[in-house]
């Protein structure tokens, strides 16, 4: 039996009164949904503004001493129309005036931005008849801006200890001196995860405008299937390669606490969405692959040197050069007298000449260094591939039938993914070939 669910609703799920009604009916479907973390109202249509963007604009204008009533009136209208239409009692007009004054008074950027969630939380608490718990009292940052996880956990658990339903606005918290501090953009996901951990929720539901994660990028594969179940580790691999709906930092608090996350669609409340959990328990059958994600634009630095292999420390020196310039390497395929390091071309660009210079010094006169760009990296991820003999065979056969040349392969670290490198021009075809091989 589920005892307690924490829900987080994204901006598009709270864009207007109609969306507020959907949220309430979702909460009513399942009474154990007792905590709600709202974002700020998002876009109602594609050319609409997000409230958070409007707030940043107000702050920017104010800090240049300019009038900001243009964007602010839009904000005011958004909140007032929701309150009006839903017949809310909270004095949102006064709250809006206070925000306007605060911006004019030169309150800092984080404070201004955080008001979107704050005001949205006030409306939602009133609409649901739930308690409003200001995140400034529950989420604590260190003075350097890092989240103070321990204090946050203890503040939030005591604030929510009585178990009564509550709304905790997302995205912000405070420093020890009480001043407001926000997460990076999309940080309401993190607030939701922190609340879920604090109340030891059974599930953390993250309500968005998609029915969970897709197995592949819909810009590449037509109408890709949804992922019904994924582990945190699989998701890390996929989201690193660019497939993400969640704020990256949002997974760790709940992952650590062993709480599954359920990505749901506010507009399709009966769709089960994607469940993200530690071990994907109770599976009748695991699909061979969980998802495919990839990225163009990698560079491969190839080093050759006679007898490289007998030189203990060579690999370390190569990585040290990248480290000096703060460049992460993605992969390091190793031969006998040759070694490659793969890094994002963008990360390499500002230091390209210096890096190559230093690599050349490493291989000395009897070696060579070359760079080749425009490589894509594609990760095929699946907990089902461990101990599945045929996965690599199917994957490479599919690529071979599509006449795609494999420039790089890396598998073995997690036994959770097969990484292939192909020319950028083969990127889309590779993703499609793999998708159709395993999904159909």
* CB-based contacts of 424, cutoff 8 Å, min separation 6: 296, 297, 374, 375, 376
Residue closer to its own copies by CB (options 80, 392) is 392
428 counts as binding its own copies under rule CB under 8 A? no
Residue among 389, 386, 377 nearest 434 (CA): 377
Site string for its own copies, 121-150 (x = CB under 8 A): ------------------------------
Residue closer to its own copies by CB (options 261, 417) is 417
319: helix, coil or strand?
helix
From the CB of residue 428, how many other CB atoms can be counted at a distance below 10 Å?
16
390 counts as binding its own copies under rule CB under 8 A? yes
Residue closer to its own copies by CB (options 74, 233) is 233
Site string for its own copies, 247-276 (x = CB under 8 A): -----x------------------------
Integer Cα distance of 429 and 439 in angstroms: 15
Residue closer to its own copies by CB (options 161, 307) is 307
354 counts as binding its own copies under rule CB under 8 A? no
Residue closer to its own copies by CB (options 71, 384) is 384
**Binding its own copies by CB under 8 A: which of 228, 267, 302, 345?**
302
Q: Report, in Å, the least distance between residue 338 CB and its own copies.
A: 5
Residue among 281, 127, 117, 120 nearest 190 (CA): 117
Instruction: Enumerate the H helices of 245-313 as residue ranges.
Output: 251-257
Integer Cα distance of 396 and 117 in angstroms: 48
Residue 388 DSSP class: -
Integer Cα distance of 209 and 276 in angstroms: 17
Q: Report, in Å, the least distance between residue 190 CB and its own copies.
A: 14
Of residues 52-91, those binding its own copies (CB under 8 A): none
Residue among 333, 408, 346, 340 nearest 377 (CA): 408
Of residues 228-247, those binding its own copies (CB under 8 A): 233, 236-237, 240
**Binding its own copies by CB under 8 A: which of 307, 346, 357, 368?**
307
Integer Cα distance of 212 and 115 in angstroms: 28
Of residues 155-194, those binding its own copies (CB under 8 A): none
Integer Cα distance of 193 and 205 in angstroms: 9
**Binding its own copies by CB under 8 A: which of 25, 164, 400, 425?**
400
- Asked if residue 120 lies in contact with residue 169, where contact means CB atoms within 8 angstroms, the answer is yes
383 counts as binding its own copies under rule CB under 8 A? no
**Location of structure tokens 């154990």:** 32
Residue closer to its own copies by CB (options 109, 233) is 233
313 counts as binding its own copies under rule CB under 8 A? yes
Q: Report, in Å, the least distance between residue 85 CB and its own copies.
A: 43
**Binding its own copies by CB under 8 A: which of 80, 220, 286, 319?**
319
415 counts as binding its own copies under rule CB under 8 A? yes
Segment interacting with its own copies (CB under 8 A) among 210-218, 260-268, 275-283, 385-393: 385-393
CA 79 and chain centroid, separation: 27
**Location of structure tokens 């999309």:** 186
- Phi and psi at residue 228, to the nearest 5°: -85, -30
Of residues 329-348, those binding its own copies (CB under 8 A): 329-340, 342
Q: Report, in Å, the least distance between residue 366 CB and its own copies.
A: 8
From the CB of residue 401, how many other CB atoms can be counted at a distance below 10 Å?
11
Rg (C-alpha) for the chain, rounded Å, is 25
Integer Cα distance of 164 and 14 in angstroms: 22
Size of the site for its own copies (CB under 8 A): 64
Residue 331 DSSP class: B
Integer Cα distance of 177 and 152 in angstroms: 14
Residue closer to its own copies by CB (options 69, 323) is 323
Q: Report, in Å, the least distance between residue 435 CB and its own copies.
A: 17
Q: Which residues are at the interface with its own copies (CB under 8 A)?
A: 233, 236-237, 240, 252, 300, 302, 306-307, 309-310, 312-313, 315-316, 319-320, 322-323, 326-340, 342, 387-390, 392-397, 399-400, 403-418, 421
């Amino acid at each position: 039996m589920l005892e307690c669910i924490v829900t987080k609703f994204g901006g598009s799920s709270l864009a207007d009164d109609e969306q507020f009604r959907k949220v309430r009916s979702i909460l009513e479907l399942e009474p154990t949904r007792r905590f709600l973390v709202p974002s700020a109202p998002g876009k109602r249509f594609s050319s609409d503004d997000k409230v958070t963007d409007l707030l940043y604009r107000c702050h920017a204008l104010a800090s240049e001493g300019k009038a900001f009533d243009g964007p602010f009136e839009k904000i005011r209208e958004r909140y007032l129309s929701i309150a009006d239409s839903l017949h809310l009692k909270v004095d949102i007009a006064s709250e809006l005036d206070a925000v306007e004054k605060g911006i004019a008074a030169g309150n800092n950027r984080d404070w201004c931005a955080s008001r979107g969630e704050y005001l949205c939380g006030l409306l939602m608490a009133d609409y649901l008849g739930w308690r409003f718990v200001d995140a400034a009292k529950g989420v604590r940052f260190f003075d350097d801006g890092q989240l103070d996880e321990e204090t946050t956990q203890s503040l939030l658990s005591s604030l929510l200890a009585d178990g009564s339903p509550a709304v905790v606005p997302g995205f912000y918290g405070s420093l020890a001196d009480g001043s407001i501090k926000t997460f990076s953009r999309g940080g309401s996901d993190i607030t939701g995860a922190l609340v879920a951990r604090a109340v030891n929720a059974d599930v953390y539901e993250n309500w968005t405008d998609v029915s969970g994660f897709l197995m592949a990028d819909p810009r590449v594969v037509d109408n890709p299937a949804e992922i019904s179940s994924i582990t945190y580790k699989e998701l890390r691999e996929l989201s690193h390669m660019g497939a993400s709906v969640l704020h990256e930092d949002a997974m760790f608090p709940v992952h650590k606490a062993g709480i599954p996350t359920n990505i749901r669609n506010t507009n399709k409340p009966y769709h089960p969405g994607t469940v993200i959990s530690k071990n994907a328990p109770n599976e009748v059958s695991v699909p061979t692959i969980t998802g495919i994600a990839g990225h163009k634009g990698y560079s491969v630095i190839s080093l050759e040197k006679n007898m490289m292999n007998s030189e203990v420390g060579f690999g370390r020196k190569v990585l040290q050069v990248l480290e000096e310039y703060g460049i992460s390497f993605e992969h390091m395929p190793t031969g006998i007298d040759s070694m490659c390091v793969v890094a994002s071309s963008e990360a390499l660009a500002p230091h390209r000449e210096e890096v190559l210079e230093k690599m050349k010094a490493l291989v000395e006169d009897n070696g060579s260094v070359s760079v080749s760009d425009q490589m894509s990296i594609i990760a095929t991820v699946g907990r089902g591939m461990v101990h599945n003999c045929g996965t690599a065979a199917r994957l490479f056969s599919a690529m071979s039938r599509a006449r795609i040349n494999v420039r790089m392969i890396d598998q073995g670290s997690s036994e959770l993914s097969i990484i292939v490198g192909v020319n950028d021009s083969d990127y889309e075809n590779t993703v499609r070939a793999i998708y159709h091989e395993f999904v159909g």
